[in-house]
Structure 1
Amino acid sequence: MAAVTATDVKRLRDATGAGMMDCKKALTESDGDYDKAIEILRVKGAKDVGKRLERSTTNGLVVSRDRALLELDCETDFVAKNKDFSALAERLMDIALETKPADAAALLATEVDGQTVEKLVEGESARIGEKLVLSRFTSFDGPTATYLHKRSTDLPPAIGVAVQYSAGSEDAARSLAMHIAAARPRFLTRDEVPAETIETERRVAEQTAKEEGKPEQAITKIVEGRVNSYFKDFVLLEQPSITEPKRTVKQVIDEAGLTVDRFARFEVGQS
């Protein structure tokens, strides 16, 4: 039986993106035959697709190009910084910009090279040996500023923000995108907050106030205060500006002459 060296394992791992132990087992099984080891890994990857369905994908990357954002997730940071994984994300973005799908679901159903994008991702999942998920995609029509943020210098961007604006400068819009990346707003204005969400916040606030023993006559005011706190936390225009905490985002962008139409924020591992 041929001896399997660390160099052999590294070469196979670099070529396939498979785990170190899987590479070592494949080389042992193939008696050191590199091409046969690749074939073994491909077969194993295809068989393991079903097993990967329940795994969590808390790593990955966000790519941005031509007023669009795309999030591709994986299981480990090792794969997240793998060049083949990055290349897949860029290829998916190429397909999206060419076919202009409405969202990630439409992109997954898009036909390319005789197969759907969903099958393409599944094939790469089998080859790499991890669950891969095309989580989100969006694109904007008007002037758009984007910002990508890395959680760590050795990893690809894990947060992506796009801000579409109809008045103002790109610099002001990009500064706002940086705020959004850090402050995690969910809505542009309070009018966008679903009525059921507001009702839930009111219900929780009222029940909490009662359990805290607050006077009955004060509960209405307390509830309104807590609902307003929710707006300040999650409505972009009502958030305190990160650069000027004593002013709201609306005050800051109004002074800059920036009119925001919509925004999107993707963060790997977050819904």
Structure 2
Amino acid sequence: MAITAKDVNKLRQMTGAGMMDCKKALTEAEGDFDKAIEILRKKGQKVSASRADRDTKEGSVFVKTNADHTEGVLIALNCETDFVGKNEEFLALGNDIIDAAFENSPSDIAALNGEKIGDLTVSDKITEMVGKIGEKIEISEYVRLSGDAVVPYIHAGNKLGVLVALQGAGGADVSEAGKDVGMQIAAMNPVAVDKNGVDRSTVEKELEIGREQALAEGKPENIVDKIAQGKLQKFYKDNTLLNQQFVKDNGVTVSKYLDSVQQGLTVSEFKRIVIG
């Protein structure tokens, strides 16, 4: 059957695919729009597969919290180029995915890829977008937090996102404090909330480094372990959130800053996602 320009334009409006791709798909499908859409999706799958080894170091982070700010979701949607990462359709896809993640609470990225956006799964929507733009796209990170207050912080350029779960808010508005702490996490990249959250392998590595440094400096062997413990405490101070100097006021730690906002206010958990 003859494929008209009107048919091609209709399919283009339905899918966002290129004019020539739409014409070829309609011709192959003998004018059946459903089959043509499936053909375009299959093309996207082939593009996705052919680009499986490409690096996806660009993209954007997306965040969403509930109305009372006690739950939050943060994802990273990656692509190959910064140009695509700023594309309106790419950003719309990211917002659709964060909505699906927020509404359905999938357990991990694999489960998120199986959630529905309209009639398609998240995975199919990504494949569809790959078919349109010819770049590899993937969800690289997905986290969900809950707490007395969950506050998001997105750094300029949407390449770095933080979720902070606060405990001990006592019903007070602690959103500004949460944003301040989110900024701290973005800038200082702490490894844990406090020393109790630092994994044992990191502790052992820091102690080993401390011992080797002490020996290299010619310190007596009988005090090497004590020196290593001192260096470990310095590591905790520099690298655990609550013990870090507050970036907006180096005269206090993050812990003391939060307590000054609301007595007993602290951070129970945080997640930091960066693209690139």
Does TM, scored on the shorter chain, surpass 0.5? Answer: yes
Q: 1:216 to 1:65 in 2, by over 3 A?
A: same
* Partner in structure 1 of residue 240 of structure 2: 235
Rounded Cα–Cα distance in structure 1 between residues aligned with 2:233 and 2:59: 34
* Partner in structure 2 of residue 261 of structure 1: 268
Task: Tell me if 1:181 matches 2:165.
Answer: no
Matched residues, number: 233
Which amino acid is 2:201 matched to? E
1:44 is displaced (CA, Å) by 6.4
Q: Mind listing any 5+ residue stretches in structure 2 that lack a counterpart?
A: 1-15, 26-39, 66-71
CA contact (8 A) 2:44 2:129 kept: no
> What does 1:1-271 align with in structure 2 at a 5 Å threshold?
35-37=19-21, 45-66=44-65, 67-112=72-117, 116-142=121-147, 143-150=149-156, 156-168=157-169, 169-257=174-262, 258-269=265-276
Q: SS in structure 2 opposite 1:161?
A: strand
Q: 1:175 to 1:36 in 2, by over 3 A?
A: same
Q: Point out the more displaced range, 35-44 or 245-254.
A: 35-44
RMSD: 2.5
Q: Point out the more displaced range, 78-87 or 168-177.
A: 168-177
Rounded Cα–Cα distance in structure 2 between residues aligned with 1:54 and 1:222: 46
1:177 is displaced (CA, Å) by 1.4
Q: SS in structure 2 opposite 1:144?
A: strand
Q: SS in structure 2 opposite 1:181?
A: helix
1:62 is displaced (CA, Å) by 1.0
Which amino acid is 1:268 matched to? I
Rounded Cα–Cα distance in structure 2 between residues aligned with 1:39 and 1:250: 62
Rounded Cα–Cα distance in structure 2 between residues aligned with 1:35 and 1:57: 27
TM-score (norm 1): 0.76
Which amino acid is 2:101 matched to? A
1:242 is displaced (CA, Å) by 0.5
Deviations 1:221-262 (A, max 9, x none): 331122223212321001111011132111111111123222
Which amino acid is 1:266 matched to? I
Q: Point out the more displaced range, 81-90 or 124-133.
A: 124-133
Rounded Cα–Cα distance in structure 1 between residues aligned with 2:138 and 2:260: 41
Which amino acid is 1:35 matched to? M
Q: 1:205 to 1:115 in 2, by over 3 A?
A: farther
Which amino acid is 1:159 matched to? L
1:205 is displaced (CA, Å) by 2.7
Q: SS in structure 1 opposite 2:95?
A: helix
CA contact (8 A) 1:102 1:138 kept: no
Which amino acid is 1:144 matched to? V
Rounded Cα–Cα distance in structure 2 between residues aligned with 1:40 and 1:190: 60
1:122 is displaced (CA, Å) by 3.0
Q: 1:205 to 1:51 in 2, by over 3 A?
A: farther
Deviations 1:135-165 (A, max 9, x none): 1222233321111111xxxxx4111111122
Q: SS in structure 1 opposite 2:246?
A: coil
Q: SS in structure 1 opposite 2:50?
A: helix
Which amino acid is 2:168 matched to? A
1:96 is displaced (CA, Å) by 1.0
Which amino acid is 1:47 matched to? K
Q: Mind listing any 5+ residue stretches in structure 1 that lack a counterpart?
A: 1-14, 17-33, 151-155
1:203 is displaced (CA, Å) by 2.0
Rounded Cα–Cα distance in structure 2 between residues aligned with 1:44 and 1:105: 22
Q: SS in structure 2 opposite 1:247?
A: strand
